[in-house]
DNA sequence: TGATAGATTGTCT
DNA sequence: GACAATCTATCAG
């Protein structure tokens, strides 16, 4: 049944090209809102519209893993070309980022929330819950729903099984302080978090 | 509905 | 051995 819908769904889907990822990180963070994030696995396809992102600009951003160009096994991928996937394990969860900035510029955009678009049944099974709004409204939740893991580390986002495609137009974008970073000095107050205004799938906090 | 504490695993000092 | 770009359960109101 659903495979018919899959063909129909993918008919007009084209992965975004390299040029898309070459724009400045803050621009990319906003441009990603409304885009479709798609993951193909043996179990099926899951997709969601990106509704919340955060920018991390390495060298001068104390909240970023790559602050002051700190280059380790974990942050290595941030020094590579833009358009790659940077997955990172936090406690028991996995977080998904898009590398940006280009070679030797350790910048990235964290995807914080999605609006479920396709493969919703699969997402519900993977999360073990029914409520749509709780399926992907958080960085750790969306990776579980989509089936994204450390196996996707360093994967290019320009082709299957994991890629991003042009989605819908977003009417309004809001900006605010990033979440979950504490003693980061000045960086704590940067308005580097972006979300689709009034979208109910955005992770908690904030209204306007 | 809102705030708080605990879980739990990889990475770095 | 300490800490982290989080989630969830639980308790208070």
The pLDDT of A125-143, averaged and rounded, is 95
Helices (H) and strands (E) in chain A, counts: 5, 9
Decide: A118 and A75 in contact? Cβ < 8 Å: no
Distance A199 CA to B2 C1' (A): 21
Q: pLDDT digits over A48-98, tens only?
A: 999 999 999 999 999 999 999 999 999 999 999 999 999 999 999 999 999
| C-alpha radius of gyration, chain A, whole number | 16
Distance A28 CA to B4 C1' (A): 35
Tokens representing residue A160 in the block: 């299957």
pLDDT band of residue A12 (cuts 50, 70, 90) is confident
Predicted local confidence at residue A207, as pLDDT: 44
Parallel, antiparallel or unpaired: strands A44-57 and A93-100: unpaired
Decide: A144 and A93 in contact? Cβ < 8 Å: yes
Domain residue ranges in chain A:
2-196
Decide: A155 and A86 in contact? Cβ < 8 Å: no
Predicted local confidence at residue A55, as pLDDT: 97
Distance A184 CA to C8 C1' (A): 26
Q: Which nucleotides of B are covered by protein (CB under 7 A)?
A: 7-13
Total residues belonging to chain A: 208
Residue A84 CA to residue A157 CA, distance in Å, equals: 6
Distance A133 CA to B4 C1' (A): 23
Phi, psi of A55 (to 5 degrees): -100, 140
Q: Which residues touch strand C (CB under 7 A)?
A: A 54, 56, 63-66, 86, 88, 90-93, 95, 97, 108, 110, 127, 134, 138-141, 179-183, 203
Neighbour count for residue A191 (Cβ, 10 Å) = 12
Architecture of domain A2-196: Roll (3.10)
Q: pLDDT digits over A156-181, tens only?
A: 999 999 999 999 889 899 999 999 88
Parallel, antiparallel or unpaired: strands A173-176 and A36-41: unpaired
Q: Which residues touch strand B (CB under 7 A)?
A: A 70, 72-75, 89, 91-92, 150
Parallel, antiparallel or unpaired: strands A107-118 and A44-57: antiparallel
Residue percentage of chain A with pLDDT more than 90? 84
């Amino acid at each position: 049944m659903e495979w018919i819908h899959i063909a129909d769904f993918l008919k007009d889907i084209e992965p975004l090209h390299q040029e898309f990822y070459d724009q400045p990180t803050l621009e990319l963070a906003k441009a990603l809102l409304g885009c479709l994030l798609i993951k193909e696995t043996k179990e099926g396809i899951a997709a969601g519209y990106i509704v919340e992102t955060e920018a991390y600009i390495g060298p001068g951003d104390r909240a970023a893993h790559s602050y002051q160009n700190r280059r380790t096994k974990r942050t290595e991928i941030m020094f590579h070309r833009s358009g790659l996937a940077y997955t990172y394990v936090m406690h028991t969860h996995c977080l998904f980022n898009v590398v940006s900035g280009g070679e030797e510029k350790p910048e990235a955009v964290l995807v914080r929330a999605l609006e479920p678009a396709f493969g919703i049944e699969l997402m519900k099974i993977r999360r073990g819950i029914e409520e749509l709004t709780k399926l992907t409204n958080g960085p750790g939740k969306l990776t579980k729903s989509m089936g994204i893991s450390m196996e996707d580390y360093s994967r290019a986002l320009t082709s299957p099984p994991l890629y991003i495609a042009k989605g819908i137009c977003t009417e309004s974008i809001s900006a605010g302080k990033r979440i979950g970073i504490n003693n980061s000095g000045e960086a704590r107050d940067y308005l580097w978090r972006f979300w689709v205004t009034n979208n109910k799938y955005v992770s908690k906090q904030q209204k306007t």
